Structure 1
Amino acid sequence: MPNPASLADDPAALRRALIAARFTLDGISDCLGPMASQALHREQRLPADLVTRDDTSPVATLVRLFALGLPVGVRQLDRALPGWDTARLRSAGLVRTDGSRAHAAYDLRPYGEDDHQWWVVSDLSEVMTGEPLPVDHVLGIGGASMTLASWTPRRPVARALDLGTGCGVQSLHLAGHAEHIVATDTSARALEIAAWNAALNGYEWDLLRGDLFRPVGGAEFDLIVSNPPFVITPRTDGVPTYEYRDGGRVGDGVVRSLIRQLPQHLNPGGVAQLLANWEVPEGKEWRDVVGEWFDRTGLDAWVVQRDTQDPAEYAELWSGDGGLRAGATGFEQLYGAWLHDFEARGIAEIGFGVITVQLPETRRRPWKELVEVTGPVQSPMGPAIDAGLRARTWLAEAGEQGLLDAHLTVAADVTEERHGRPGAEDPSVIVIRQGGGLRRAVRVDTAVAAFVSVCDGELSTGQALGAIASLLDVPTDELVRGSLPAIQELVADGLLLTGA
């Protein structure tokens, strides 16, 4: 294990050495070039290997050691990190030596966003070791962790919880807007590596071991983020249980349990952001399955399904996730265990998505929205999630009359498309399209299109609909009833703004 005590005397020293060696996001990009950089993001090492093979610069040496998992000369490594030579790296547990060669004991690489750059330690991937992962593997920066970080709203908060922290990626992001961070995990190894990453990047987190909310007792938080071990794994002998992805429950039970406990651990107005898989049995619809998770919780819920897989696709993905590929000994048995488990429980489909939850500040009926958005979305999504929470909360509290009294404006990223048959006098299809956020494309009728066109803040919703009813020669009440649901949808997703 990496040794946090080895950093306790001067945790900034290694950061300074890494920066001096240009082992940074920009430095690595400049060293590798665009093609090798993109290949490495796809976990293809060869282009980066070829580019750095004859390069003895500090950054190339560190890329080969920590990003590619290739041995480097001890003397070469000593020159790459003055003040953090091979002996000190070995004492810290980051490298091991074999005569004149040094080998990475852990993956170490820079990671960041526009305003921050960090360095993250995690276990070596199976691409680097060439072997299947051990069950106590601590995952590094993956697609799921980056998705969660992108979708999390970044409101300033007093207390935040990173549930299932792994190596601590979400806590790094939380450090920019949370005064106090608690991070939990069931894995002792994950917490030790998270402690190392906290020290390396100059942070202090409360790190607690245990299942779901058990380690925090009755504590409440303003923001909870979780990339939980949501993978649906057969609970049968011979199927490995990876700590970073398997929660030890049948089916999607770990996420259902998490959601049911959220009301006891969110402050009023508090938000939870998490990723999840869910099972859809034969004859059921995913919205009904997931929607039931929130019944009688009192929580506002916004669920976006991003992808679906049939049982065979899902089994192939997770059978091979740990490094056991098709054709390898044991692959078919593992694949078959997943298929048998899904068949025995009548599962037709597995969904993946992002769940946003809010505990209302006021005593009102909670809102619930479940949508499917499989295409590209804004990056980062956090600002759109924050705005969407506020808009939906405003709609729930203002009610129909509040919406009629509101003076709405059109968001700057909204455009309108009209489609019709050649020679037709009127369009047959009108679409209001959003450039950011979830990039919604909402098909509307002539009345709603006319309403959107006059949303400049001058008229209230009721006044504008009344004027349009007169122009179309239809009863105002009838047009209001027919148009308000579409207007509510446009407000909720940020195509129309309330100014509230």
Structure 2
Amino acid sequence: MADDLSPEYCSALRTCFERVGYDADGVLSLLGASAHAALGRGEPEPARRVTRDGAGLGTLIRLFLLGDELPENEVKAVLPWPESVANGVVRVDGDRVRAGLDVRPYGDDQGSWWVFADLDSDQLGSTVPVDHVLGVGHASLSLARATIRRPVGTVLDLGTGCGVQALHASRHARKITATDLSGRALMLANATFRINDLDVETRQGKWFEPVTGRRFDQVVCNPPFVVGPSRVDYTYRDSGLAGDDASALVIAALPEYLARGGVGQLLASWLHLPGQDWPERVTSWLPGGVDAWFVQRDVADPDLYVGTWLRDAGIDPRSAEGAARASAWLDWFAENKVAGVGFGFVTLRRTDGEPRIVCEDLRHAFDDPLGQEAAGWLDRIDWLRAHSSPDALLRAHLKVADSVVLEEVSSPADEGWEAVVRRLHRTDGPGWQHEIDELVRALLAGCRGLLPLGDLLELLAAAHGVPTDALIVAALPLVDELVRHGMLVPA
């Protein structure tokens, strides 16, 4: 394989793809919704049947997306030849051709790109090598959906892999820098950038070393966050650091590379240990001067965690190799008394104000991209910081957000129905929920933006015969939380 895929070759390949319509929309159009969905489930036969008469586009789908072996003449009619062989994009065996790289369309709501990556274990028919470069996987998609998309000057994609996060950054950043420890990852990322005609600065090196002394408006990072012994089986997921030290390193170091007001976002993992709450653990990694939002999306027990990551690399846990690796990994978990592994998203912002640090468990399913919520969260804590004194908050005019509904569950009582559960639901974003009592229900009923919060609390205290000062002390922390969750908004 060539050390690098040249700009000339990438341009020629792009021309071939555009000629036959090998992009996200073209693939969906040819396959149709049913076969496309089946392919996403790992069921290739419906797509294979549809593409038999699909001309050049069908050839590329069978070659790159289905992993089929095709006649050489059929592939030569579509791809630049013999350059595609010389560059390792395809492999030739006699008069038959297979894909040598994973080259596939990938799109967002604004258009389509192409991404270069290595073949996975299913395509290879074996385990992946140590320097395997992962394609567009679940983790990278999750980070892309969790990233704030506001116009910025500079973005750093730390640990770019095949370049997915940098592609998304091209929609909202003027200048992008992408780094990786792996030379192979940067080779494929450069191919991804070239075929999409993107000007991205790439630098090779460990962690933040390639950008020492620089600062960015935004940093995104999908680090090698897999938790376990200090070893490197696969560079895309293993850092060589033990436990959750890789996540701790990035979280501690990242703010130094942010411009004032800059935002960093990353995936991270953390250990759940006896006698230590996970928020205590992750917040201990933070430097000063940083707003931080930790969102825990899942917690896996060690047995499930090890099995999942073995299969990710194409290793059968039932095989001798799988059993040996699982045993060593589980021994490490046992020796370190690990009860579980948390996983989630971290949003950091460099601030000159009093930092706001929040850890939240968000393990229920939701559909809206978390990036919009992260942007809103930062805006809301800015507002709360500006109203941090009780007097300022009591003067504020607030209203219940339009997306909030109240659910009440009642049981039979002597005088009819008696409410036993009152629950606020935000019907958009992450779907936050809050159980409330009758006093809070009455307070929120009055939050229409007409009266300041202090006046509403005075009226409520008088109506229910409770001391105003005590009601204010009880209400303000709840109001703060409802504002942070976008359930109460400034009028």
TM-score, length-normalised on structure 2? Answer: 0.95
Cα separation, 1, equivalents of 2:367 and 2:224: 26
Cα separation, 2, equivalents of 1:290 and 1:191: 30
Amino acid at match of 2:37: Q
Query: What secondary structure is seen at the aligned counterpart in 1 of 2:202?
Result: strand
For residues 341-399 of structure 1, give each alpha carbon's deviation from its aligned partner in whole angstroms, at most 9, with x where no partner exists.
11111111111111111111x3x321111111111224322111101111023213320
The answer (yes or no) to whether the contact 1:466–1:476 under 8 Å persists in 2 is: yes
**Corresponding residue for residue 182 of structure 1:** 177
- TM-superposed CA distance for 1:85, in Å, is 3.4
Cα separation, 2, equivalents of 1:283 and 1:56: 60
**Corresponding residue for residue 451 of structure 1:** 443
**Corresponding residue for residue 418 of structure 1:** 408
Cα separation, 1, equivalents of 2:16 and 2:175: 28
The answer (yes or no) to whether the contact 1:77–1:85 under 8 Å persists in 2 is: no
**Corresponding residue for residue 221 of structure 1:** 216
- TM-superposed CA distance for 1:481, in Å, is 1.5
Residues 1:5 and 1:347: Cα distance change in structure 2 (over 3 Å): closer
For structure 1, the 5+ residue unaligned runs are none
1:39 paired with 2:34, answer no
Cα separation, 2, equivalents of 1:252 and 1:199: 35
The answer (yes or no) to whether the contact 2:12–2:80 under 8 Å persists in 1 is: no
Matches within 5 A, 1:235-314: 235=230, 241-294=233-286, 296-314=287-305
Q: More deviation in 247-256 or 313-322?
A: 313-322
The answer (yes or no) to whether the contact 2:229–2:332 under 8 Å persists in 1 is: yes
1:388 paired with 2:377, answer yes
1:23 paired with 2:22, answer yes
The answer (yes or no) to whether the contact 1:404–1:462 under 8 Å persists in 2 is: yes
Cα separation, 2, equivalents of 1:5 and 1:186: 19
Query: What secondary structure is seen at the aligned counterpart in 2 of 1:202?
Result: coil
Residues 1:22 and 1:5: Cα distance change in structure 2 (over 3 Å): closer
Cα separation, 2, equivalents of 1:287 and 1:10: 49
**Corresponding residue for residue 365 of structure 1:** 354
Q: More deviation in 466-475 or 329-338?
A: 466-475
- The structure with the largest strand share of the pair is 2
Cα separation, 2, equivalents of 1:130 and 1:76: 23
1:140 paired with 2:135, answer yes
Residues 1:215 and 1:409: Cα distance change in structure 2 (over 3 Å): same
RMSD: 1.9
Matches within 5 A, 1:106-117: 106-117=101-112
Aligned counterpart in structure 1 of residue 429 of structure 2, from 437, 451, 459: 437
- TM-superposed CA distance for 1:160, in Å, is 0.9
1:319 paired with 2:283, answer no
**Corresponding residue for residue 55 of structure 1:** 53
TM-score, length-normalised on structure 1? Answer: 0.93
For structure 2, the 5+ residue unaligned runs are none
Q: More deviation in 463-472 or 141-150?
A: 463-472
- TM-superposed CA distance for 1:51, in Å, is 4.0
Amino acid at match of 1:406: A
Amino acid at match of 1:139: L
1:234 paired with 2:229, answer yes
Amino acid at match of 2:376: A
The answer (yes or no) to whether the contact 1:437–1:493 under 8 Å persists in 2 is: no
Cα separation, 2, equivalents of 1:461 and 1:119: 52
The answer (yes or no) to whether the contact 2:31–2:50 under 8 Å persists in 1 is: yes
Aligned counterpart in structure 1 of residue 481 of structure 2, from 484, 489, 492: 489
**Corresponding residue for residue 164 of structure 1:** 159
Query: What secondary structure is seen at the aligned counterpart in 2 of 1:421?
Result: strand
- TM-superposed CA distance for 1:335, in Å, is 0.4
Cα separation, 2, equivalents of 1:126 and 1:202: 29
Question: What is the percentage of aligned positions where both structures have the same residue?
Answer: 38
Cα separation, 2, equivalents of 1:50 and 1:10: 31
Query: What secondary structure is seen at the aligned counterpart in 2 of 1:324?
Result: coil
Amino acid at match of 1:106: L
Aligned counterpart in structure 1 of residue 64 of structure 2, from 66, 85, 105: 66
- TM-superposed CA distance for 1:486, in Å, is 1.6
Cα separation, 2, equivalents of 1:98 and 1:178: 43
Residues 1:231 and 1:170: Cα distance change in structure 2 (over 3 Å): same
Cα separation, 2, equivalents of 1:412 and 1:11: 49
- TM-superposed CA distance for 1:164, in Å, is 0.6
For residues 275-329 of structure 1, give each alpha carbon's deviation from its aligned partner in whole angstroms, at most 9, with x where no partner exists.
01111122322122112222x4321111111111111111111122210112223
Residues 1:19 and 1:297: Cα distance change in structure 2 (over 3 Å): same
The answer (yes or no) to whether the contact 2:5–2:187 under 8 Å persists in 1 is: no
Residues 1:167 and 1:234: Cα distance change in structure 2 (over 3 Å): same
Amino acid at match of 1:65: L
Aligned counterpart in structure 2 of residue 479 of structure 1, from 471, 484, 487: 471
Cα separation, 1, equivalents of 2:134 and 2:58: 24
